[in-house]
Amino acid sequence: MEIAVVGTGYVGLVTGTCFAEMGNTVICVDKDAAKVERMRRGESPIYEVGLADMMQRNIAEDRLSFTTSLQDAAVSSDIFFIAVGTNPAPDGSADLKHVEAVARELGQCISRRAIIVNKSTVPVGTGEKVESIIRAELDKRGADIEFEVVSNPEFLKEGVAVQDFMTPDRVIVGTDSEWARDVMHELYCSFTHKTDRVLFMGRRDAEMAKYAANAMLATKISFMNEIANLCERLDVDVEQVRHGIGSDPRIGYSFIYPGIGYGGSCFPKDVKALVHMAGEVGFDAAVLRSVEQRNNQQKQRLNERITEHFGNDLSGMRFGLWGLAFKPGTDDMREAPSKVILEYLIEHGATVVAYDPKAMDAARRELPREWQESGKLEFADHQYDACHDVDALILATEWKPFRHPDFDAMKKKMKQPVVFDGRNQYDPEQLTKLGFSYIGIGRQAAFGA
């Protein structure tokens, strides 16, 4: 099939590359010319396991190409995926300006029967909106072209995005059109060959399913963080509680890790957008409001523990920070809890030396220049360099190389052997025996302090 994917971020680039991998001809469109240049050379602008190799293979075999011109892409394409960002507007609603801009452009340039697929996460009713924008543009041109707007929300996880796309748990397609249903089924059945996992439903149902999935996962995280806060106050180890409840198959182990809050480009904005959507129809989404509130508070939890341990004035102190990305496996720093910690430490007079296996370039780009130029924030070349002469080490992202480090080597390098474990990766008793002060989440006030 001839496919155009508009927007080449985490979703669009993975979508386009994986469709090409299955033998389709794909042209990816992005308005960012510098990004398009890099992708043409086979460079991935984002870090995702296996993505760059797959891109290079498909470019070499002429199935994958890149352009800044949707008009050029429209000449040969029958299916258009919209995969542009839907960041929050100031009122918390999903800002649809990019989706609407693409819809307008599509109305101006499609020249034959087309299926338009909305892969961006969009509020219920956006399918109708996109349809009417395209129709209005076609009317202006006096063009009578048949088209369908389909909802096909994306469920890939950053960090394992290629694997998720190639072997999806399910593919949701929202449409009432038999034509669109057949085309989408044919397109996706190569990914769900073993057992058919394409679920068809109404367009509005599909739009809501995406928000409900993310809100459910965010709720699990905030719920567990709430329990962790209670555990701290009741002298209970939340890790024991986690094992105790995760073993119940009705609950399961996924998304019940206590920590320093969820980040990334999806959960925070999607919970906000759902609360806003509820407000627009006169409904108070009380549970979701609390999920967001707990998460905002949880992002401060390690900062509070640092204050409890060291006091309010951190001037002259130096902290090591392991992990900048919002989760392991990605270089994405959008809404990362590490940013909240960095801001707190630097505002309270400390300096920080940070290390992340993949997000160093993103951090250099996104974190304030002033921090970097003034020496308030340094970047280490190796994880152990971030322990050198520090008063404490903070673990913010649970990358695998941080899970089982050489504690003796760390201790020798550190000025004070203090570990703030924002992801409960370490055994408090082991660290205490080794002479560290250990402060985790949802565990006794502090071990060895």
Ligand X SMILES: NC(=O)c1ccc[n+]([C@@H]2O[C@H](COP(=O)([O-])OP(=O)(O)OC[C@H]3O[C@@H](n4cnc5c(N)ncnc54)[C@H](O)[C@@H]3O)[C@@H](O)[C@H]2O)c1
Q: Which is nearer to ligand X, 337 or 442 (CB)?
A: 337
388 touches ligand X (CB under 6 A)? no
Is 231 a catalytic site residue? no
265 touches ligand X (CB under 6 A)? yes
Using CA atoms, how far apart are residues 20 and 27, in angstroms rounded to an integer?
9
Residue of the chain from 44, 66, 85, 259 that contacts ligand X (CB under 6 A): 85
158 touches ligand X (CB under 6 A)? yes
CB of 45 to ligand X, least distance (A): 8
Residue 379: what residue type?
Answer: F
Question: What is the dihedral sign for C-alpha 291, 293, 296, 297?
Answer: negative
Partnered with residue 439 across adjacent β-strands are 420
Residue 381: what residue type?
Answer: D
Question: Would you say 291 and 271 are in contact if contact means Cβ atoms under 8 Å apart?
Answer: yes
- Number of Cα atoms under 13 Å in the Cβ half of residue 184: 29
CB of 4 to ligand X, least distance (A): 10
Tell me how many residues contact ligand X (CB under 6 A).
26
Q: Which of 156, 101, 154, 94 is nearest to 125 (CA)?
A: 94
Question: Would you say 15 and 154 are in contact if contact means Cβ atoms under 8 Å apart?
Answer: yes
98 touches ligand X (CB under 6 A)? yes
86 touches ligand X (CB under 6 A)? yes
Residue 445's CB is within 10 A of a number of other CB atoms, namely 12
Q: Which residues contact 8 (CB under 8 A, 6 or more apart)?
A: 16, 28, 29, 30, 35, 36, 39, 45, 66, 83
Using CA atoms, how far apart are residues 204 and 124, in angstroms rounded to an integer?
5
**Count of H helices and E strands in the chain?**
18, 14
121 touches ligand X (CB under 6 A)? yes
With contacts defined by CB under 6 A, name the span among 152-160, 341-349, 362-370, 431-439 that binds ligand X.
152-160
CB of 36 to ligand X, least distance (A): 9
CB of 46 to ligand X, least distance (A): 7
Q: Which is nearer to ligand X, 265 or 298 (CB)?
A: 265
Site mask for ligand X (CB under 6 A), range 280-319, x = bound: ----------------------------------------
266 touches ligand X (CB under 6 A)? yes
Using CA atoms, how far apart are residues 3 and 124, in angstroms rounded to an integer?
25
Task: Give the full edge-to-edge strand order of the sheet including 64-67.
Answer: 64-67, 25-29, 2-6, 79-82, 114-118, 147-151, 171-174, 198-201
Instruction: Out of 18, 231, 266, 387, pick the active-site residue.
Output: 266
CB of 184 to ligand X, least distance (A): 17
175 touches ligand X (CB under 6 A)? no
Both tokens of 333, joined, read: 């720093």
120 touches ligand X (CB under 6 A)? yes
Q: What is the DSSP string of 54-68?
A: HHHHHHHTTSEEEES
Q: Which is nearer to ligand X, 38 or 220 (CB)?
A: 38
With contacts defined by CB under 6 A, name the span among 1-9, 56-64, 107-115, 138-146 that binds ligand X.
1-9
Using CA atoms, how far apart are residues 272 and 278, in angstroms rounded to an integer?
10
CB of 165 to ligand X, least distance (A): 10
> Between residue 2 and residue 21, which ones bind ligand X under the rule CB under 6 A?
6-12
> Between residue 26 and residue 65, which ones bind ligand X under the rule CB under 6 A?
29-32, 35
CB of 436 to ligand X, least distance (A): 35
Using CA atoms, how far apart are residues 242 and 247, in angstroms rounded to an integer?
8
Binding positions for ligand X, rule: CB under 6 A: 6-12, 29-32, 35, 83-86, 98, 101-102, 120-121, 154, 156, 158, 265-266
User: Which residues does the annotation mark as catalytic?
Assistant: 266
